[in-house]
Amino acid sequence: MTTKLHLRVIGNGLPVQIELSPGQMNDQPMAELLLNELPPGADVIADKGYDADWIRDLIEDQNCTAHIPPKSNRYDGITYSKAKYKKRNLIERCFNKLKQFRHIATRYDRSALNYLAMVKIACLRLWLRFYESAAKHYFGRLLGLPSVTGFPNRIFNDSWVVGSWRADHGKVGRRTRTLAEAVP
């Protein structure tokens, strides 16, 4: 009895879309939910588990570019940007932040609805933590206090990330394939 958590995360590491699926289910069907309504011109970054023609077609139909490394058994020459592929770590960092909440990492809930509610509360806490530090920065500037270098870039970053993580009952979840989208 396991559950997979699928997230869509913006460039500052904050989740904006949350989906649950059974743990034994493949990630590819959930990719369709997470890849709907992409902004035009987005760069979609994913790992080899998402190397499917229908996913590439879904991305290209929305005028976006796929940066997915090909599987080892694929023979046609598919290229991707390794520099953009490195942005995939944003989803991993978001899952690590969520795993700091013990209730999410170990999944004590029997009901998927209760587990989803706890995940949403944890995501809300991540958003509140971010905006608390943003408010401190803003009001600190108004009061003439020294600012954090590069902090405004953290607020106005337009990149997106999508991915999944598997939570086992009573165990710390294992990392699974992730899918990321970065807006130029």
**Domain boundary assignment for the chain:** 2-182
What residues in the chain have per-residue pLDDT under 50?
Answer: 147-159, 169-184
Fold for the domain defined by 2-182: Nucleotidyltransferase; domain 5 (3.30.420)
Tallying the residues shown for the chain, one arrives at: 184
- For 37-48, write each residue's pLDDT tens digit: 888 888 887 878
pLDDT of residue 151: 42
- For 77-87, write each residue's pLDDT tens digit: 888 888 888 88
DSSP letters spanning 94-120? HHHHHHTSHHHHHT--SSHHHHHHHHH
Contact (Cβ atoms closer than 8 angstroms) between residue 52 and residue 27? no
Across the beta sheet with 43-46, the strand order is 15-22, 2-10, 160-168, 175-182, 43-46, 65-67
- Which pTM was predicted? 0.71
- For 19-37, write each residue's pLDDT tens digit: 888 888 887 888 888 888 8
